[in-house]
A and B are shown apart, each in its own frame.
Chain A
Amino acid sequence: MAASDQNYRNQYTLDIVFAVSSTLMLASIILMFWQDYFREFKTEQRSFRDAEAGIAQRQALQQLPNKEEFDKLEAAVAKARKEQKNDEIDAAKKEMEAIQPKKERADAAYQDKKASFDSLIAFRNQYADEHGKKAGDEKYAAEIDSLTKKLADAKAVQDTYDEQLKVSQRKMSNLTKDLTDAESEWKRLNDRFETQAKLAITKKWGLADSIRDLPMFDFLAPSIKIHQFTINDVPINFNFTYVRRFDRCMTCHQGIDRPGYTKEMLESLKNPLQPSLRNPVDAFWTAVAAMSPTQKPEEVTRLTKAGWAKQILGVFLAGDWENVSLSGLSQYDAEAAKGLKGRWDEVVKVAKQDKVGKEPIADYLTQKRNLLEAQGLLEARIKTLGPTEGVAPRPTPDQLAINFMPDAALTPARIKEFCGHPRQDLFVGANSKHPAEKFGCTSCHQGQGAGTTFNGSFHSPNTSETKNAWTQEHDFGKDTHTYLWDFPMLPSRFIESSCLKCHHQVTDLYGPQNRNEAPKLLKGYHLLQESGCYGCHEIQGRKGGRQVGPDMRLESNPPLELLTPAEQDKIKKDVDNAPGTMRKVGPSLYRIAEKTNREWTARWLKGPREFRPDTKMPHFYGLANNDKSVLPEHQKDFPDAEIQAITHYLFTASDAFLKEIAELHKDGKEAGESQLLDEMLAKPAANRTIAEKEELPKLQMRVRKRKSPLLEDLAKDYKGDPVAGRQLFSERGCLACHGHKGTEAAPLVPSSDLSFAPKVVSEANFGPDLSQLVDKLGKHPGDKDSARKWLVQWIIDPHVYSRRARMPVTHLTVNQAADVAAWLLSQKAVNLGDGWAATNVAEPSLEKLKSLAEVYFVRLLPAGVMKDLLDGNKKVDRAALVDLPEDEIKLASDGITSDSLKYYLGKKAVGRLGCFGCHDVPAYDTAKPIGVGLLDWGKKDPERLAFEDIQGYVEKHYYSVPSLKDKDGKPYGEQVKDGVKKMPYEAFFADALGNQQREGFLHQKLVEPRSYDYNRILAWDDRSRMPQFKFARSRMKDGESKEQFEARTLVEEAEAREAVMTFILGLVAEPVPLKSINEPSGDRLAEVKGRQVLEKYNCAGCHLIEPGVFDFKVSKPGSILLDASYDLASRTKDHVFRNHYNWVGKTPETPDRLVAPGVAPQLRSYKRKLLLDEGELDEWDLTDPDSAAKAKSDSLDVVYMRLGHALRFQTAHTTRKFLSDALDREQKKSADDKDESVIKDLTKKLKQQDELDRTFGDYRDITASNYVRVPAADMIYPPPAVFASRESMHRLKDLGPLGGTFSDILLNYLVAKDKGKSTEFYKLDQQGDSNYARAAGPPSLVGQGERTQSAWLNQFLLDPQPIRRMAVLRMPKFNMSPAEADALVAYFTAVSRLQNTGTSLENNEVIPQQQDFDSAYWKKKNEDYVARLKAQKTDKGKSRYDERMEFLQPYLDGKLEVGLEASSKRVATAQEALDVAKKALSQAKDVEKADKERNVAAKEKMLADAKDNELAWKEEVRKQNNGPKGLDREAKLKAWNEKDAYLADSYKMVTQICLKCHQVGQLGSALKIADEAQGPALQEVHKRIRPGWAEHWIAAPPRMIPYSAVMPVNFELGKNDWQDRMAGTSLQQVIAARDLLMVLPRIEAMPINRYWALSLPGLTTPEQK
């Protein structure tokens, strides 16, 4: 084609194309920018910026200084300014100005001289280097001399001017000091406000911000950008690889690390007024604000407008807001008053139309008024200080405003998005344990951390309602891949799951001091333990050689502790295959045939909860896949047949076992075989012969079986007394683990003292509820003899029945056990109703058994052979049977009978259903758990879960509800829809099931484990096998209907189930880097490990172990209450041990937040007004209906508790205020009314307050065991909701003090039992406590680590001995391993050390007192003491030393006859007294007879004692005279001076005082004080008690236990009693008693102490008897 000018394409077309494409490109670019500008996070950040500004404004307003204080300081500044001597200042300034140039000149001159000098020296040095040192010195000597002089002169001149300048500067600063100080004070007051105000202003979205963030500009320095944490330590699992974690959550959650960003604060950013009201209120406000200050009646003050506004508003808001009169104002400005009134009426009109209360308007106006005040303040500041101060510009009043955010911009979702993390002390914050920089967000919350959109980061709703809201707002769920992320965020209900990733010990989630940091997860953990889930589902904590989760596995068989030490060592070395530690939760079934009968067992298997509603045993039958109603016709009888088969198997196997052990006990080979076994084990395994190798396990088995004793009737000849049994059952601690309906009523009247046992309710469920026991026991139904025989044995020693039983040895005598058994068996079982009646299990026909057996055989044999075999056909093809497994061969060889079939089927079923997961079952000792391991279930791919037709099942059986309780908090119940009964089902879980999520699957698996078989045709043994558990174990409350109870149970069950789920979902087996894993060490590890043992044996069922943590903020009433508590606590004269936590509390980190270690918290109501106005603390009696009504309107709910340790707080000086107010009032009274003594008293008390301030500053310690009261609303942990009512206080079981329930139960029981007796021994005191009843119960273990010596505690735990005579029960003997006892000892020591960081408790303490008496320790003590004796004078002016010598005279001289004479005299006196008493008896009237008889008996006793004493003296005299000659006087005296004096006098004192209640060594056995009032014998103290604790205890018993002590304060501070026994101050006496107790048995036998002991009236030593 020829060239031409013509374009290839039409230019016009091209232009059009170009135009269009450019336009399109432009459009697309704009669109791109548009989209970018409105990216989700950018919108959020812009909106957050508004919120930030709003919060800063409000925080600035909150920081407004107090007007009074401001005025005071401002006046001080003005005064200082006025008083400033300006003339003098000017003069001083001039003076300074005059000196300054002179000084500078002098400086320069000096520098000049110095430089010359330096250079000269340099020359000299150079010269010296070249010509030698001497030459150098000589050459330059003259010059140096002259220059040195000049330099000195110049320096002198410089110094003079320096000094002059300093003097004038000092003068100047003295002149200006007052002003500077006043100004800086004033500045300090204003600074916080001004900084906040400045911040508020800078946070406002300004023009510059808008430009920076404009599209195209925003790449430069945008204020809106993605915030991201890069977490290397906790990588994210992408299935194939672990990838670094990027968390961008803070891009939107910008307030997450800001403590002030609470929900309430954010909520307040919204305008409290309805739009319709805003205009009239604003108009009214403008009118108020516009009023000129000159119209104001009073003098013009700083905050004129605000002050004015406050006055006017006061009129409107204080009174009756609808009928405001402005008479006060109209006096001054009628016009303005009219205008205002008009505006206000408009407000009221609109408010009434819109039915708006007074509060929002008041809130709104108050905010406005505060703003006005703040603006006024700024204005005033500018006026005083000038517009700028330094470089930064000051905010101007106009810049400060209150901006409300529209509701649309601050949706509920945004409030949640912007608010701070609720636990910043624990998470997010840089100083918390889990800072966001280190852990990020998604390592706990999961989800896609890199996502910057709502849906892209995979949020999970917590309820279906939230989900609906999200669908509206974010199109949540509409996207198909909403659920495709493997680990979407955890819904907040399961958030605690994440803790398990790093807290593998689980109990380490109890913080130090017993704070429960993950209540739900820990509840789940306990439920898992309680239900024994690990029996079937192993939770193997290790993977790939490292710990990845908690370790919950069954212990090996035989358990580790029953093996020889060598075997144990071998096993312990293999860390990866260490044996589990969990015991099976169910009882052993080896000996079931002794305990119960087949009939009961079969029914129990069919429906355990029908028999015992709160049993842990799950249901295996009557479930979704094996209930009669869902089974096909030919299988309908299978369940019953199988149950009968299991029962038959268990009993047959048990019988065989019992027969075997009976034979083994008879065969007489016991000693021989044990020895043989030892020999065989000693041989190295390699050296054993084949025969030996085969024989060994059998031999081991036989030896082990011999250790099972035979069941005997221990109380053959004693029937048992049910009345005594009931008392024993209530008192001896059974109720700490078991409940029984029979104790919940008091059948007998209180008057018959002996038989009365009051009502006592135990909610314990560690062991089974025993109410139905009578129907269960007995080898035949109703056979009470065998039941009794078994029960007595079980009570005496449960380990005969099973060596792994957790029930301890109770230390009851055989007769007492028989009494308890008699009572238990005399109690009629509660009528169990239809449910239990329906559990009758039909005996299966042979045909049925055969058809059930076919289920198994059909897989093993051809149909024909199977038929032949089961029909018992002799022609059966034997060759086909050879390959059959063992059980089938046994069946074939036993022949087909009903029994053999049942045995076979039973054994099969036990294996299939996994009964051995919870029970020891014969032949299943080494079977492996049947369930899927749960090690990493929490991250199981949902695609690998078989959901089957579960939705169909759920739709058919349930109806969906948004939450299990309706809006009023009432639980939903059963509903009949379309003629079908349906139960409520939480929509959240229905959703999760529908979307095939893990949570949904797990939930349904726990609700109805077998429902996944719905609509599926499966073989009998292919069906899912998991039984149905119930976790909540709810109890019916008094006055609750059956329906209410069932509905409540449903909710409680759901809560418990969720707790279990929380735990399971946390099992993700993530290999978290070692440094992130919480690996407690030292004391903390001991605490964590010990807690596991405490839980295993339910120690907390009886003992109070640790006080609770009560975290609270200090409000105004709160601080008044604290001051009052301190005031009361400090009234007692106390020996104070400043290094001990019972006297000195931890200084709080911030004074407005305290942690009280509280015990026995109660909820009480106080009159608020009295509390606040007068500091008088009066309590409402809520049982009185009148005052209850009053209390409601005007009361303060208070948590009232006793302190376990001291509490330190900052005083608000309210006590001082009340005292000085009272003094003021008194002084102002007229002369007649005035009481001088009151004035004197108050003045004295005020002086004491001064003294306290001087000593302790602002801090005060409320010592342990005193009461404190904290307003319930101030509580932070446990949350205030717990204290909403007495009902809700139940939650303290998990969140409050650890343990002590039985102690409380027993207290109330004993008090009730004693009530009405002529002298009530156990009696509640005014504190609601009873010291004797407390001492009768299990002791508190608070501070136990300090109390007892480790070695003693260890042996006591393994084999407890009786200690306290007051106790009505004894510590039982648990079958605890030595390692577990060690762990407990370490726990107590660790806890004491952790809480009392000052103590240096050793595990194996060295007790200095237990050294030899010749040691320096004792010598020093004695030396000091003798010196003290010599220095001290008696009243008669004699020295104490001489006094002692007098007493010792007969002893030193060897003239014990003196003592004998006195003793004989006592005999004579006693004889006389007896004669008199006898005579009186003979003359007595009938009425008096009983009295006189008792008198005679007492006299007889006295005489006998005196005679014993005389005998003892005789013996002592005989020893002195006949025996080897004793020491001579000098030697005795020397010994006394050097060694004996201190201990001898201590002994004298201790026998004098302590003998009143304790047995002191050998002494005191003659005392017949009732046991219940007697303290523990003191002779074992040196082994049991640590000296430090003994000292604290003797000095101040009330401080050392968290309830009323029985022991009085014997050595009160400042008292000087007992000087004739032990000379010294009361504290020295305490120490002497302590020292003595540590060596008591050794010193008792000292001759000098025998001499003293004999002189005690009425006492003898058993040694002499």
Chain B
Amino acid sequence: MQNARQPRVRFHFAFCILGFAFCISSGTVQAQTWGDVKGRVIWGGKNVPAPAKLQLPPGDPSTPICIKANKGEEPPDESFVVHQKNMGLRDVFVWLADFDDPRSKKPLPTHPKLKAIKVKQVEMDQPACHFIPHAIALREGQELVVKNSAPFLHSFKWGGDPNVNPGESVAMAPGSTRTIKPATDRLPIEIQCTVHTKMRSWMRVFSHPYFAVTDENGAFEFKDAPAGKYRLMIWHANGWLGGKDGNRGQLIDIEAGKVVNVGDLAFAPN
């Protein structure tokens, strides 16, 4: 525990000293510096999964509506979304974590300009029997606004660590919205619709701004990350990068004023 708390203590201490040093115009104490991180997650399995469709129950009256809303096709099965050309894997969560205790929920040193949360609300919709987006990363303090723009009933069930985000399961009338404010969670939060059992999606909530969800090219990036030794955590709904042991993350040394490119990380399904 002692270790986990150290960075913050050090950080505060540093600030005080810095202030002091500034006042008496002397001293050589180093302040926190910042660097950028970027990289890509690519498919590392044997066979590249082809884009698949969800198989909706044919008798369900909402099925034709979904198909219609989805350009005449059934909604995509998003368990693995791989770019067929550059092998980029979408919907992978990537974030920075404390070096000593990657499970810690303590906020990392945060760049002053990232301190305030600019975007207060993140939206999610379910117009055509699948959640858009499929993977969502939030910073604690942000709200998730869930919409139901479909003309039929959905339900919205979410829940993470029961001690932090016990979640709920509620019906969503057509056109209704619902706002939730989840807390930092070391577990992923699963989102599903109990009416349409194939609808699933994932969310993670962080106490700091250094996280990303990979785009269709598998790319991610976060700027102005604190310099020093950290862990880069990489998780997909299928599991950690590197299997079960991946929950300790990859070591990363962020250098001040530089961009650390971790390159292509291959994700093999567990």
B169 A1605 Cβ-Cβ under 8 A: yes
Of A1128, A1325, A1494, A1657, which is within 8 A of B61 by CB? A1657
CA distance A1552 to B174 in the complex (A): 11
- Determine the chain A residues whose CB is within 8 A of the CB of B166 once the complex forms: 1128-1129, 1131-1132, 1266-1267
Of B58, B67, B79, B115, which is within 8 A of A1497 by CB? B58
Cβ of A465 under 8 Å from chain B: no
| Tier of interface size on chain A | 35 or more
CA distance A1606 to B55 in the complex (A): 21
Stretch at the interface among A224-232, A1271-1279, A1583-1591, A1608-1616: A1608-1616
CA distance A1432 to B192 in the complex (A): 34
A1216-1243 vs B, CB cutoff 8 Å, 1 = contact: the mask equals 0000000000000000110101100000
Of A1184, A1318, A1326, which is within 8 A of B161 by CB? A1326
CA distance A1607 to B153 in the complex (A): 13
What's the nearest-Cβ distance from chain A to residue B56, in Å? 8
| Tier of interface size on chain B | 35 or more
A1567 B58 Cβ-Cβ under 8 A: no
A1552 B163 Cβ-Cβ under 8 A: no
A1568 B60 Cβ-Cβ under 8 A: yes
Cβ of A480 under 8 Å from chain B: no
Cβ of B157 under 8 Å from chain A: yes
- Determine the chain A residues whose CB is within 8 A of the CB of B190 once the complex forms: 1325-1326
A1501 B58 Cβ-Cβ under 8 A: yes
Cβ of A1319 under 8 Å from chain B: yes
B155 A1608 Cβ-Cβ under 8 A: yes
B163 A1177 Cβ-Cβ under 8 A: yes
Cβ of A1118 under 8 Å from chain B: no
A1608 B163 Cβ-Cβ under 8 A: no
CA distance A1611 to B159 in the complex (A): 19
Cβ of A72 under 8 Å from chain B: no
B194 A1658 Cβ-Cβ under 8 A: no
- Summarize B's interface: helix, strand, loop or mixed: loop
Chain A residue nearest to B54 (CB atoms) is A1319
- Determine the chain A residues whose CB is within 8 A of the CB of B58 once the complex forms: 1494, 1497-1498, 1501, 1568
Cβ of A331 under 8 Å from chain B: no
CA distance A365 to B194 in the complex (A): 63
* With contact pairs A1473-B64, A1491-B53 given, residues A1325 and B173 touching in the complex (Cβ less than 8 Å): no
Chain B residue nearest to A1323 (CB atoms) is B190
Chain B residue nearest to A1178 (CB atoms) is B105
- Determine the chain A residues whose CB is within 8 A of the CB of B1 once the complex forms: 1167, 1169-1170, 1190, 1194
B187 A1326 Cβ-Cβ under 8 A: yes
Of A1132, A1318, A1606, which is within 8 A of B194 by CB? A1606
- Determine the chain B residues whose CB is within 8 A of the CB of A407 once the complex forms: none
* With contact pairs A1167-B1, A1556-B195, A1569-B60 given, residues A1608 and B247 touching in the complex (Cβ less than 8 Å): no
Chain A residue nearest to B169 (CB atoms) is A1608
B170 A1608 Cβ-Cβ under 8 A: yes
B81-117 vs A, CB cutoff 8 Å, 1 = contact: the mask equals 0000000000000000000000101000000100111
- Determine the chain A residues whose CB is within 8 A of the CB of B116 once the complex forms: 1235, 1237
A1319 B198 Cβ-Cβ under 8 A: yes
Cβ of A1553 under 8 Å from chain B: yes
B57-82 vs A, CB cutoff 8 Å, 1 = contact: the mask equals 11111011001000011100101000
- Determine the chain B residues whose CB is within 8 A of the CB of A1618 once the complex forms: 173
CA distance A1122 to B156 in the complex (A): 28
Chain A residue nearest to B61 (CB atoms) is A1658
Chain B residue nearest to A1180 (CB atoms) is B103
A1267 B163 Cβ-Cβ under 8 A: yes
Cβ of A1502 under 8 Å from chain B: yes
A1453-1477 vs B, CB cutoff 8 Å, 1 = contact: the mask equals 0000000000000000000010010
Within A70-96, the residues touching B (CB, 8 Å) are none
CA distance A539 to B197 in the complex (A): 56
* With contact pairs A1326-B190, A1495-B67, A1608-B155 given, residues A1235 and B195 touching in the complex (Cβ less than 8 Å): no
- Determine the chain B residues whose CB is within 8 A of the CB of A1131 once the complex forms: 166
A1181 B157 Cβ-Cβ under 8 A: no
CA distance A923 to B168 in the complex (A): 64
Cβ of A285 under 8 Å from chain B: no
What's the nearest-Cβ distance from chain B to residue A1173, in Å? 9
Q: Which of B60, B115, B162: most chain A Cβ within 10 A?
A: B162
Cβ of B171 under 8 Å from chain A: yes
- Determine the chain B residues whose CB is within 8 A of the CB of A1267 once the complex forms: 162-163, 166
Of A1232, A1327, A1568, A1611, which is within 8 A of B59 by CB? A1568
CA distance A1233 to B198 in the complex (A): 44
CA distance A1179 to B77 in the complex (A): 33
Cβ of A199 under 8 Å from chain B: no
- Determine the chain A residues whose CB is within 8 A of the CB of B160 once the complex forms: 1326
Q: Which of B57, B105, B160, B189: most chain A Cβ within 10 A?
A: B57
Cβ of A1176 under 8 Å from chain B: yes
Of A1170, A1181, A1553, which is within 8 A of B171 by CB? A1553
A1235 B163 Cβ-Cβ under 8 A: no
B61 A1659 Cβ-Cβ under 8 A: yes
Cβ of A1598 under 8 Å from chain B: yes
Cβ of B176 under 8 Å from chain A: yes
B171 A1609 Cβ-Cβ under 8 A: yes
Chain A residue nearest to B106 (CB atoms) is A1176
Chain A residue nearest to B112 (CB atoms) is A1232
- Determine the chain B residues whose CB is within 8 A of the CB of A1269 once the complex forms: 163
CA distance A1553 to B186 in the complex (A): 35
Chain B residue nearest to A1238 (CB atoms) is B141
- Determine the chain B residues whose CB is within 8 A of the CB of A1497 once the complex forms: 58
What's the nearest-Cβ distance from chain A to residue B153, in Å? 5
Cβ of B23 under 8 Å from chain A: no
Q: Which of A1128, A1235, A1567: most chain B Cβ within 10 A?
A: A1128
Of A1190, A1237, A1598, A1656, which is within 8 A of B117 by CB? A1237
Chain B residue nearest to A1128 (CB atoms) is B166
Cβ of A1321 under 8 Å from chain B: yes
Chain B residue nearest to A1572 (CB atoms) is B197
A1179 B163 Cβ-Cβ under 8 A: yes
- Determine the chain A residues whose CB is within 8 A of the CB of B156 once the complex forms: 1608
* With contact pairs A1178-B186, A1325-B159 given, residues A1498 and B171 touching in the complex (Cβ less than 8 Å): no
Cβ of B119 under 8 Å from chain A: no
Q: Which of A1269, A1480, A1498, A1659: most chain B Cβ within 10 A?
A: A1498
Given A1177-B164, A1476-B72: 20 more A-B contacts, CB < 8 Å: A1129-B166, A1169-B1, A1179-B163, A1194-B1, A1237-B116, A1269-B163, A1326-B160, A1326-B189, A1327-B162, A1331-B169, A1498-B67, A1501-B58, A1568-B59, A1598-B168, A1598-B169, A1608-B157, A1608-B170, A1609-B169, A1609-B170, A1618-B173
The 7 closest A-B pairs by CB, nearest first: A1568-B59, A1617-B173, A1608-B155, A1610-B171, A1498-B58, A1658-B61, A1608-B169
Pairs A–B under 8 Å by Cβ, sample size 16: A1124-B163, A1177-B163, A1179-B161, A1187-B103, A1319-B79, A1319-B198, A1326-B160, A1494-B55, A1494-B74, A1553-B153, A1568-B57, A1568-B60, A1569-B59, A1604-B169, A1608-B171, A1608-B194
